[in-house]
Amino acid sequence: MRIILGVSGGIAAYKAVLLLRLLKEAGHSVRVIPTKAALKFVGKATWEALSVEKVTTSVFKDVPDVAHVALGAEADLVIVAPATADLLARAACGRADDLLTATLLVATCPVVMAPAMHTQMWQHPATVANVATLRLRGIHIIEPASGRLTGSDSGPGRLPDPEEIAEIALGFERHSAQGQGPQSQNLANRISASNQAMPLDLTTSITTAPYGQNDQVGGAPHCKLVVTAGGTREPIDPVRWIGNRSSGKQGIALAQAGAELGMEVVLIAANIDNGELAKLRGNPLIGIVPVETCLEMLQAVRDVQDDADAIVMAAAVADYRPVVTENAKLKKQAGQPKRTIELIENPDILAGLCEQRKPDQVIVGFAAETGDNDHTVLEYGQAKALKKQADLLAVNDVSEGKGFGVAHNKVWLLDKNGELVGEAEGSKTDVARAIVGAIADRLPK
């Protein structure tokens, strides 16, 4: 595969050397295009020695070869790491004042950018708007990591590890080559049509406040995705509840996959660990609505369902809740080794959504199942698909420690007739991208 590795001028440029080595060792042909500022951090000789290709920053080199057009046109994948605030700004404005930005304007292959900068620069309204613009154009932005920055400062803005960048970027290229997932042509057509009909005003439609100060998001014109995640808790008293083992990892991966496509995402998060939610904070396309119980989740979904183009019910919602929630902690009582708690059935949020869906709205449900002597996991899933009538039902086996709280997942995708229309297996990120790709294929062109 022919890869362009763009490197802009930040201290994290040294990590791009390791990324280059990983790509070369994987058997890919890599042409490095640094900016002039990048060469102040890592010299031309290093890039040429490791890539075994010549390196230049200017459009006035190799003029007869028309390099500023040929490089982007011939590439199978473009990776920019690190992508500084300046590079993001120039790319968002369509500048072509050096070889790297000119190449970005020509490339028709997947383009992946890994930003790295100081936290305040990453969260500045200008950078937030630039990132949103690039995502709406189909550029894949990898969220920066949190940790130690230059000097004594810490926060979001670190370049992710080279191994992570390589895995994500190569994954996008594979999806594109297979005509599925994040490179869905249907979604590209939808974005194009909506942008022509209603130009995006980034000054008003994209939030400019870091999460924690403002968890609301504005309305990107092309697609709004609602994802529920985590597990609801139905309180018995102030310290006890009825709950489940859901960690919310799959829902978080779905939110990230949607944002990678430029979708505006609302994540309705039920009791998800703050460490998991931290992966989403700072992403201008993802808003977080915290809930605890089924009834709270039902209300949160109702608040956004009319504006949603797609809804994914990935949360594990309790089927029952206590009829009475005690105001004080229940105490043990002498001579009463047993206690009875009366339960009442919770509303079926997914079934209600399917009954009240608006035209062209795509609804995806999840069914965490275990098999028994009577039926397999897939058979139980098929029965649920017929009952719920979601456009897609992702059925996963949660027996013997599978599914909940682990990194790996496998789902069968069933349509409303219970027919198997797809499968996805791998990391929860892989599964999420497959599901979001399937959603994109069902959105109106």
Judged by average pLDDT, the poorest of 143-147, 195-199, 226-230, 356-360 is 195-199
pLDDT at 283: 80
Exactly one of 186, 195, 244, 327 is catalytic; which is it?
A: 244
176, 179, 180, 185 alpha-carbon torsion, rounded to 10°: 90
pLDDT of residue 34: 95
The pLDDT tens digits for 123-156 are 888 998 888 888 878 888 888 887 777 766 777 8
53 band by pLDDT with thresholds 50, 70 and 90: very high
Q: 248-297 pLDDT, tens per residue?
A: 999 999 999 998 888 899 999 999 988 888 878 778 789 999 999 999 99
Domain with CATH 3.40.50.1950 in the chain: 2-178
Domain formed by 2-178, architecture: 3-Layer(aba) Sandwich (3.40)
Residues of the chain with CATH 3.40.50.10300: 196-322+340-442
| Between residues 191 and 229, the one the model is more confident about | 229
CATH of the structural domain 196-322+340-442, one choice from 1.20.120.80, 3.40.50.10300, 3.40.50.720, 2.60.40.650: 3.40.50.10300
Tell me if residue 396 is catalytic. Answer: no
pLDDT at 241 over 70: yes
Is the pLDDT score of 30 beyond 90?
yes
**pLDDT tens-digit readout, 374-414:** 889 999 999 999 999 999 999 988 876 565 657 678 899 99
Closest-CA residue to 236 (of 334, 348, 320): 320
Q: What is the mean pLDDT of the chain?
A: 84
pLDDT exceeds 70 at position 174: no
Choose the weakest-confidence range: 26-30, 301-305, 372-376, 393-397. 372-376
* Predicted confidence (pLDDT) at residue 179 exceeds the cutoff of 80: no
Per-residue pLDDT reduced to its tens digit, 343-375:
999 999 999 999 999 899 999 999 988 888 888
- The per-residue pLDDT for 128 is 86
